């Protein structure tokens, strides 16, 4: 009998007691809508926006219903309209190409490298071949590109960068926070991200025009003066007439449960990184397992871990999933032909024009993924890494 991990891969930590108390207070008030406020009252959502703006170190912050809605709003606020080509990663989560299609854009997929980052050479090539003026850059699984190089390529070509920071809330590159490089950044507070409100998201920017357009797009019913981190009223002069209301406001319950979590974010990042380091060290003990390089300029948030088995066939990869499952370890594999759970390949996004991405396909064919929930102790993490090693050895034998 193989050794087994008996913990759970799907349970979350309970929310902090302050978050629960704050949510109950909102429920008792009955005033859940962000604009349902007394005359001079600053609501939970406005407080959260101001606190997140300060933490992120940007000028404006808008809270919305999901990360995916933040992406759609950001694209529209940057002027993307039907038929426009929009560059994005060939390896990302479905809401990213989904947001581009939702605004009528045409995703132009860019190759990734073996460390799961956008390939700058291919970015340059596809900027030239597509004529795209917007890059929706997905920091997939927390791996940041060489941001200096990517920004230089985009600035030179007049390409606007929107950062998808669903996995990089709290991460940084060369001392600067992820999200503060492009024109707009989008964050998710969905349960599996770095703060948990079930669903939710933020859009941040230093551009007053983008912030005003995004606010009207989010469905502000002309009550934008009640926001917590928005631009001056003059910024809305045109946006208020020109932007459609897409109703994507955050409500007071979610904001109430996020505010105390923001206060603990830094501490949680350290907890994730401790777990990441233990699993990474364990995996690095096996020469068949390739871990992902973390560049020295990157401050990574290790809320999940990825590794590759470059020598393995598809049948062997399937074997590893089964051998790990027998040991109580749930791995995700990006090489499966059918989309499953939170993994899918660009071939299954049939709403996107089919594109050739041989390098990305080769990398994804042997790529595995695992979240690192706080329910895992560091000892659990060490055991899990050993069990993955055993599963790989069993299949290789």
Of the two residues 59 and 369, which places its CB atom closer to ligand PLP in the complex? Answer: 369
Least Å from the CB of residue 135 to ligand PLP:
14
Residue 346: which region, alpha, beta or left (left: phi > 0; alpha: psi -120 to 50)? alpha
Alpha helix (H) residue ranges in 120-234: 120-130, 147-157, 208-217
**Would you state the torsion angle of the CA atoms of residues 41, 43, 47, 53, taken in this order, to the nearest 10 degrees?**
-110
Least Å from the CB of residue 261 to ligand PLP:
15
Least Å from the CB of residue 185 to ligand PLP:
12
With b for 16 or more beta-carbon neighbours within 10 A and e for fewer, the 173-192 pattern comes to beeebbbbbbbbbbbbbbee
Of the two residues 34 and 167, which places its CB atom closer to ligand PLP in the complex? Answer: 167
What lies within 8 Å, CB to CB, of 69 at 6+ separation is 201, 218, 246, 248
Least Å from the CB of residue 148 to ligand PLP:
22
Least Å from the CB of residue 395 to ligand PLP:
28
6's tokens: 């008996």
As to burial, measured by CB atoms within 10 angstroms (0-12 exposed, 13-18 middle, 19+ buried), residue 30 is exposed
What lies within 8 Å, CB to CB, of 208 at 6+ separation is 59, 60, 231, 232, 235
Question: Read out DSSP for 77-107?
Answer: HTT--TT-EEEEESSS-THHHHHHHHTT-EE
Pairing assessment for the beta strands 184-188 and 201-205 based on DSSP bridges: antiparallel
Of the two residues 167 and 259, which places its CB atom closer to ligand PLP in the complex? Answer: 167
Of the two residues 369 and 394, which places its CB atom closer to ligand PLP in the complex? Answer: 369
Of the two residues 140 and 256, which places its CB atom closer to ligand PLP in the complex? Answer: 140
* DSSP-derived 3-state class of residue 146: coil
Least Å from the CB of residue 168 to ligand PLP:
9
Least Å from the CB of residue 28 to ligand PLP:
27
Least Å from the CB of residue 169 to ligand PLP:
11
With b for 16 or more beta-carbon neighbours within 10 A and e for fewer, the 209-241 pattern comes to ebbbbbbbbbbbeeebebbbbbbeeebbeebbe
- DSSP state for residue 226 in the 8-state scheme: G
Bridge partners (DSSP) of residue 60 are 205
Least Å from the CB of residue 96 to ligand PLP:
5
What lies within 8 Å, CB to CB, of 219 at 6+ separation is 245, 246, 247, 248, 249
Of the two residues 316 and 348, which places its CB atom closer to ligand PLP in the complex? Answer: 348
Least Å from the CB of residue 191 to ligand PLP:
9
Of the two residues 85 and 201, which places its CB atom closer to ligand PLP in the complex? Answer: 201
Of the two residues 138 and 344, which places its CB atom closer to ligand PLP in the complex? Answer: 138
Secondary structure in 3-state letters for 331-362 = CEECCCCCCECCECCHHHCCCCCCCCCHHHHH
Bridge partners (DSSP) of residue 137 are 163
Of the two residues 61 and 93, which places its CB atom closer to ligand PLP in the complex? Answer: 93
Of the two residues 285 and 340, which places its CB atom closer to ligand PLP in the complex? Answer: 340
Residues that bind ligand PLP (CB under 6 A): 66-68, 92-93, 95-96, 138, 140, 164, 166-167, 188, 190, 201
């Amino acid at each position: 009998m193989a050794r087994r991990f008996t913990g759970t891969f799907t349970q979350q930590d309970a929310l902090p007691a302050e978050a629960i108390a704050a949510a109950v207070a909102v429920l008792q008030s009955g005033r859940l809508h962000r604009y349902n406020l007394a005359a001079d009252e600053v609501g939970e959502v406005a407080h959260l926006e101001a606190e997140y703006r300060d933490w992120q170190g940007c000028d404006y912050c808008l809270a919305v219903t999901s990360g995916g809605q933040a992406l759609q709003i950001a694209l529209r606020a940057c002027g993307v309209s039907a038929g426009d080509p929009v560059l994005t990663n060939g390896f990302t989560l479905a809401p990213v190409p989904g947001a581009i299609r939702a605004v009528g854009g045409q995703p132009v997929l860019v190759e990734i490298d073996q460390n799961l980052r956008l390939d700058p050479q291919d970015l340059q090539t596809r900027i030239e071949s597509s004529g795209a003026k917007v890059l929706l850059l997905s920091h997939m699984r927390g791996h940041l590109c060489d941001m200096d190089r990517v920004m230089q390529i985009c600035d030179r070509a007049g390409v606007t960068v929107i950062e998808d920071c669903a996995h990089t809330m709290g991460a940084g590159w060369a001392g600067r926070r992820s999200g503060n490089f492009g024109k707009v950044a989008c964050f998710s507070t969905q349960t599996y991200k770095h703060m948990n409100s079930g669903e939710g998201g933020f859009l941040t920017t230093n551009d007053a025009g983008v912030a005003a357009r995004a606010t009207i797009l989010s469905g502000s019913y002309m009550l934008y003066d009640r926001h917590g981190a928005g631009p001056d009223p003059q910024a809305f002069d045109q946006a208020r007439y020109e932007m459609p209301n897409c109703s994507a406001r955050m409500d007071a319950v979610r904001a109430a449960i996020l505010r105390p979590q923001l206060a603990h974010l830094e501490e949680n990042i350290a907890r994730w990184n401790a777990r990441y380091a233990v699993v990474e060290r364990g995996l690095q003990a096996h020469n068949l397992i390739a871990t992902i390089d973390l560049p020295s300029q990157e401050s990574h948030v290790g809320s999940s871990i990825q590794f590759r088995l470059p020598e393995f066939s598809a049948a062997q990869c399937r074997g590893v999933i089964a051998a790990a499952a027998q040991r109580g370890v749930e791995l995700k594999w990006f090489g499966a032909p059918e989309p499953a759970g939170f993994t899918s390949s660009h071939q299954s996004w049939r709403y996107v024009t089919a594109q050739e991405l041989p390098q990305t396909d080769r990398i994804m064919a042997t790529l595995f993924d695992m979240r690192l929930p706080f329910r895992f102790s560091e000892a659990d993490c060490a055991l899990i890494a050993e069990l993955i090693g055993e599963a790989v050895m069993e299949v290789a034998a």
